[in-house]
């Protein structure tokens, strides 16, 4: 029988969250010492995350589970893979990263997720959900083939287990001999409260039957806050011959009463008061999801065919109110990005008008569904893609900076990008009313700009074309909505110095209004394209191709992002760093054409 090792405390000074540098230090603690350490971590997290913001609820729920994992396994020899990685704060502390917690959610600070660049204890990059089983299985098989020691453990939440790829990984892992251990962190929530048949099976105590039917060894359910129960359960999985799943029941926000009153159990919070949980002022602003959801709700009142789908992203899409008002016509299938889009395809085939809302970065998951299921038959579905462009402090892979490049190449998909809240409102309303094929409206993260209410009064004919703010002959800037304000600043500066500079807000990125643009640019000496996305395959590349096709003789300057993974940061910080703000754009124009300076 393996022993739990809980009866061999040493006399070394007990580690604290602030001082611990390596998980091996936990091995010296007895059960009571580990429990005290868990409470210290809880206090540390509340004190630190309340100042910086972060995934407080998700992390308060995994303190004991993470300590038990580090107690039973030997990281980095044993690889611990936390799915998504948003619940990895205790893992970060135990692996010596507590001193950096004050920099969470700051430019250049501690990552919100797990990252190989940060620690040898982080075997994978994670931040998109549902990858852990596949990566862990691959890693475990590689170790086996190369004769390397060490177990591989995938820790996955109940929400992430519903991802298509997690199911695919499970289906495969169950028939391989790989030495893999699975740990299910079941708190009944994704971000929003859990739903779906898997959720119900877990709640109803049918997990054993579910995993057993796949041939897995099942241990649980275990109280995920009871170290005395978790440790032997994990030891059994570690020492077992067959692939074992340990089912830990945890409570999101465990030990912190404000989470009990929160609809998402405080999954994530901006800086907050640790006593009341109240978010500090200044962090709540009207965003594009609010604008779009208000229009969708109004249109649903009068058009019964409109239905809404969002895959576990109510928090990012502003649709919570719409879901509450029209529960029969709204569907949140869980974190199932691929299914959500093909579901919308079926809804459209059935004569309805689906609005499908995603966080842009997660829409990447549904690429073939977009090409094959939606665009090939050309069905009328309105896609709302939020957090296009820079997406804040999440992770490099959370930025929606590839969306325009990969969406532009798909036949029959219309792409729109508003420059402010007024345009967003008008686009959502007009497109919903006239929907005849696949259409995507992309919108940026952060508070809405309210630049130009006159778009409300534009005729349909004029609104169907780019908006020309100024005509210019020396230079014209063609701007995508997410960088319109920077373009305006640069153009106003040029005009103030006597340069005949023009500005066009593109609005329609696919199909491009070719004839209109060719006409507007005829005779113009210099053209600048500006977008908050990668230049490779981006809107600038489409516009320069248009110039070539139409024989426009201008000199061109494409401003956008390099084809790279961009660090987390606020929109302002990143725009400054990548010279996409007004001064940056102006500096690039001057560098290219010193005669305009
Ligand atoms: C592919 C993908 N879709 C959506 C998200 C946004 N997201 C981050 S964590 C999360 C919920 C994860 O739920 P679960 O796995 O149960 O973990 P919990 O936070 O409840 O511990 C969601 C929806 C994501 N990171 N990746």
Ligand 1 pocket: which of 184, 191, 263, 336 to mutate (most atoms <8 Å of CB)? 191
pTM: 0.95
Q: What is the mean pLDDT of the chain?
A: 95
Confidence class for position 126, pLDDT limits 50, 70, 90:
confident
Q: State mean pLDDT over 60-65.
A: 98
Residue nearest to atom 12 of ligand 1 (CA): 190
End-to-end CA distance of the chain: 79
Give the tokens for residue 135.
């990566």
Q: What integer pLDDT is reported at residue 7 of this predicted model?
A: 45
Instruction: Give me ligand 1 centre to Cα 191, in Å.
Output: 6
pLDDT beyond 60 at 395 = yes
Q: How confident is the model at residue 456 (pLDDT cuts 50, 70, 90)?
A: confident
pLDDT tens column, 83-102: 999 999 999 999 999 999 99
DSSP character for 389? B
Contacts of 158 (CB under 8 A, 6+ apart): 184, 185, 186, 187, 188, 189, 190, 194, 198, 199, 202
Question: Does 470 have pLDDT greater than 70?
Answer: yes
Whether residue 77 contacts residue 243, with contact meaning beta carbons closer than 8 Å, is answered with: no
Ligand 1 centroid from CA 84, angstroms: 7
What is the signed CA dihedral for 41, 42, 43, 49, rounded to 10 degrees? 100
Which ligand 1 atom sits closest to the C-alpha of 313? 23
pLDDT, position 10: 47
pLDDT tens per residue across span 176-234: 999 899 999 999 999 988 889 999 999 999 999 999 999 999 999 999 999 999 999 99
- Three-state SS string over 238-291 comes to HHCCCCEEEEEECCCCCCCHHHHCCCCCCCCECCECCCCCCECCCCCCCEHHHH
Residues near ligand 1 with C-beta < 6 Å?
58, 84, 86-87, 127-130, 157-160, 185, 187, 189-191, 252, 267, 312, 335, 337, 362, 365
Give the ranges where 95-245 is alpha helix by DSSP (H).
Answer: 132-146, 158-161, 164-173, 197-203, 207-213, 227-239
SS3 567: coil
Catalytic annotation, residues: 252, 337, 365
What would the mean pLDDT of 469-493 be, rounded to a whole number?
Answer: 97
**What are the backbone dihedrals phi and psi of residue 489, each rounded to the nearest 5 degrees, phi first?**
-60, -45
Question: Three-state DSSP class for 160?
Answer: helix
Q: Give the bridge partners for 245, in sequence order.
A: 182, 218
Q: How confident is the model at residue 285 (pLDDT cuts 50, 70, 90)?
A: confident
Transcribe 72-93 into DSSP letters: HS-TTTSEEEESSSTT-HHHHI
With tokens 């110039």, the residue in question is 547
Q: For residue 241, what pLDDT is reported?
A: 87
Q: What is the reported pLDDT for 8?
A: 46
Q: What is the DSSP string of 478-498?
A: EE-GGGHHHHHHHHHHHHHTT
Q: What three-state secondary structure class fits 558?
A: strand
Q: Record the tokens describing residue 280, joined without a space.
A: 């500090």
Which of 86, 129, 195, 339 should be mutated for ligand 1, with most atoms under 8 A from CB?
A: 129
Q: How far is CA 210 from CA 182, 205, 207, 253, in A?
A: 14, 10, 5, 27
DSSP, res 568: P
Conformation bin of residue 240: beta by default, left when phi > 0, alpha when psi is -120 to 50: beta
| pLDDT (0 to 100) of residue 3 | 43
Q: Which atom of ligand 1 is nearest to the CA of 190?
A: 13
């Amino acid at each position: 029988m393996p022993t739990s090792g809980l009866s061999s405390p040493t006399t070394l000074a007990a580690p604290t969250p602030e001082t611990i540098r390596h998980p091996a230090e936990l091995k010296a603690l007895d059960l009571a010492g580990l429990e005290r350490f868990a409470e210290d971590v809880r206090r540390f997290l509340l004190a630190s995350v309340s100042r910086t913001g972060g995934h407080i609820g998700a992390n308060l729920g995994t303190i004991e589970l993470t300590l038990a994992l580090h107690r039973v396994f030997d990281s980095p020899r044993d690889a611990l893979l936390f799915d998504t990685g948003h619940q990895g704060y205790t893992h970060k502390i135990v692996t010596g990263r507590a001193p950096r917690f004050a920099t969470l959610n700051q430019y250049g600070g501690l990552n919100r997720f797990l990252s190989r660049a940060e620690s040898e204890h982080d075997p994978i990059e994670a931040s998109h959900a549902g990858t852990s089983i596949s990566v862990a299985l691959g890693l475990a098989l590689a170790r086996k083939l190369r004769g390397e020691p060490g177990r591989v453990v995938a820790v996955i939440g109940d929400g992430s287990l519903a991802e298509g790829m997690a199911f695919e990984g499970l289906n495969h892992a169950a028939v391989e001999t790989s030495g893999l251990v699975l740990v299910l962190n079941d708190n009944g929530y994704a971000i929003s409260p859990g739903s779906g048949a898997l959720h119900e099976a877990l709640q109803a105590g049918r997990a054993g039957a579910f995993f057993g039917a796949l041939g897995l060894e099942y241990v649980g359910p275990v109280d995920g806050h009871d170290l005395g129960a978790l440790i032997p359960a994990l030891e059994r999985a570690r020492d077992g011959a067959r692939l074992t799943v340990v089912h830990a029941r945890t409570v999101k926000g465990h030990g912190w009463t404000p989470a009990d009153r929160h609809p998402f159990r405080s999954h994530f919070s901006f800086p907050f008061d640790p006593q009341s949980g109240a978010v500090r002022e200044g962090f709540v602003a009207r965003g594009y999801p609010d604008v779009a959801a208000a229009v969708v709700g109004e249109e649903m009142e009068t058009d019964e065919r409109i239905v809404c789908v969002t895959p576990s992203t109510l928090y990012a899409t502003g649709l919570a109110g719409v879901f509450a008002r029209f529960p029969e016509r709204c569907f949140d299938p869980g974190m199932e990005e691929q299914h959500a889009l093909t579901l919308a395809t079926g809804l459209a085939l059935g004569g309805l008008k689906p609005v499908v809302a995603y966080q842009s970065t997660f829409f990447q998951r549904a690429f073939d569904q977009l090409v094959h299921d939606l665009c090939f038959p050309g069905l009328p579905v309105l896609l709302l893609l939020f957090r296009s462009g820079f997406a804040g402090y999440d992770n490099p892979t959370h930025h929606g900076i590839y969306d325009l490049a990969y969406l532009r190449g798909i036949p029959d998909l219309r792409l729109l990008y508003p420059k402010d809240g007024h345009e967003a409102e008008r686009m959502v309303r007009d497109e919903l009313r006239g929907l005849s094929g696949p259409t995507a409206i992309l919108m940026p993260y952060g508070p809405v700009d309210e630049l130009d209410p006159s778009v409300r009064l534009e005729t349909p004919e004029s609104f169907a074309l780019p908006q020309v703010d100024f005509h210019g002959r020396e230079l014209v800037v063609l701007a995508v909505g997410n960088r319109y304000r920077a373009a305006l600043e640069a153009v106003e500066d040029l005009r103030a110095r006597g340069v005949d500079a023009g500005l066009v807000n593109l609005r329609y990125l696919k199909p491009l209004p070719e004839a209109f643009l060719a006409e507007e640019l005829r005779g113009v000496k210099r053209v600048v394209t500006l977008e908050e996305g990668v230049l490779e395959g981006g809107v600038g590349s489409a516009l320069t191709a248009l110039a070539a096709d139409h024989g426009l003789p201008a000199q061109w300057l494409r401003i956008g992002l390099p084809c790279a993974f961009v660090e987390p940061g606020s929109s302002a910080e990143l725009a400054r760093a990548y010279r996409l703000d007004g001064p940056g754009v102006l500096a690039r124009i001057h560098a290219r054409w010193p005669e305009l300076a």
